[in-house]
Structure 1
């Protein structure tokens, strides 16, 4: 399903000739999966088969949004939808943008494009785990709120329910960490999950300092092997 993306919520670079496409997990070809795996392999090595098993575990409940600059894949977002006690969540399992095109609001537009897909028109919450503050910010824009004013009580009350009902294996085994979920935490973590995702935090840390300079950063510090956990309430677009 080719779509015309909604108007961006942030300024975009109009010199980029880029197109967005949203499709069901049942329509993802092996060739496209290989392109997505290659793009993700910029930070962490990933094979197409492993990516499919992790991000398209239930194809009919999965959406892939791609961003192409001419014929080159420069961004993608995998997302899955499932029911949990209290609603329906749209979970971003992977959000990747080519390093050469970061800070162009492509991540924001990838997530905005999810809204037009039928699966996402019924969600009541959206969430992700990520080591990068920019991903959390893009999701906040999807929910129409500021990343500096996160509803932490909503995360505290619903994160465990969402992960327990998850159809994604690494999320079901993820451990909630931080002041929202643990007592007497002295690490500075607020809302995170221990997913054993060990990557270089140099770039996320640099970005985090910029976010802190612009306002209060609500999700706390990022520890090794952890990812921020962001979860927002949204209004379904259809019954």
Structure 2
């Protein structure tokens, strides 16, 4: 299948972590509990929004915490690099586009839209004032290109951040076809390879799923635009506990059919 999709080998336990939204403390709390439970043979899937609307210090620390736990898990005997997957969330999609915003037809309008979607926390995380950046986006191509170059340098100064961003997958699926993992949305009328940007902006399509999607037993997402908390339906599971927005970070262990075996939270 497509290289932007992560194949996950079936396992007795697949750990799945919901949207983090730059919430370092919640992520650290979940990782402390997960470190006592996860073992070789398990799989681990993060569902996006690692960057987010938190303070600059928290957003950077949350990404660093992700990188540390990935190292911890992969270092276990018997664990393979393919046993862990990181999905691209809306925050990561915007961060990626922001580094190329000089090529957008209307950079100012695009950045204004990103501000309504929470990009300000990510901008602050790398040392920039969103209001100043907003002014720059209306000053022409040369000024914007200079800024994106400076911004890219700031991201690269944080070891592993750009590499993680480059390694993110659009979605993940178990190779037996029983489970699919997405950030927020999935169009039930299209195959997994034909979703375009639905993975990041199609939350309402996910909520409209009432029938089995191909042979999939359950579709799991990490971020919802309205419903907060663990939302379990016949064919879908939503894990947005409101981390980074005053709520909790939700992580669950699923069996091969998508049933919840165990749940942990962090706040």
Question: Structures share a fold, TM > 0.5?
Answer: no
- Which is higher, the Rg of structure 1 or of structure 2? 2
Comparing both chains, which one has the higher relative contact order based on Cα–Cα distances under 8 Å and sequence gaps of 6 or more? 2
More strand by share: 1
Provide TM-score, normalisation by structure 1: 0.29
Using the size of structure 2 for normalisation, the TM-score is 0.27
